Structure 1
Amino acid sequence: MPWDTQDYPDSLKNLDTAEKKKAITIANAMLDEGYPESRALPIATEQAKEWYENASEEEISEVKNMTDGQLRSRDEDNPGSSRPELLEQGEHVLSHERGWAVKAQDAKQPSDVYERKEDAVERAKEIAENKSTNVIIHRKDGTIQQNISYNK
């Protein structure tokens, strides 16, 4: 369950409002990417503190004015926003223990897992098109079945 300003870990309670909201936003994004809570929270807290030290008054004001919905929602138009290096990587459709996974090249965890391969391919195409990258569809044995490019 994503955190917000009404429900967040005790370790964030002594942070300034902007730092707290930034930490919640970063942690929620990391949880979306599959990071365990025990790793996401300290990383998000450290990154939020560093951000706060370097942020302009305008940036701090913007974060202070964020709503709880903005802290919780996943930005579907900007996949990989908390790991910007993944924006340039292609999407792979791979066999997974629960069906078929959609995973960016070099990502630690899949972004999505589907029972049906067709659903995974559809989602991978959507992400790759938004990122202007490619989709590499694998067979169950791991070999490449198809490579679709959305490079502009």
Structure 2
Amino acid sequence: MAGPFFRKSLTDSGQLRRGLEKDVQHKAIEIANSLLEDGYEEGRAIPIAIAQAKKVRPKSNVTYQVAPVDGDNQWEVRKEGADRATNVFNKKQEALDRANELIDSQNAKVMIHRQDGTMQETKKANN
């Protein structure tokens, strides 16, 4: 029977160093160890563990706003509390596309406004 992964072994895996956040890495280690104890081979356990760890990541406290830029025909994506926009786009759909990326990559909540500044909807990751 294969022994459990050690933190160093799994962290050294190239699959885990490719842009995974620390909390996802730690959860993947935990899941991979469990899979190895259940008899999975290392090459199969790592991708399964990564996929599962991404699904159970903790909720984020990060909130972004998608709103019209004052006096302009542009749309901004701004992290709540930030002095400057993260991104500025010519079309609302472009800003919404960026917001969806942030929902996925940062597990963020996004508050979307209408052209007149009123709230349209709030979107967040499906945890």
Scaled by the length of structure 2, what TM-score is found?
0.48
Scaled by the length of structure 1, what TM-score is found?
0.41
Question: Which has the greater radius of gyration?
Answer: 2
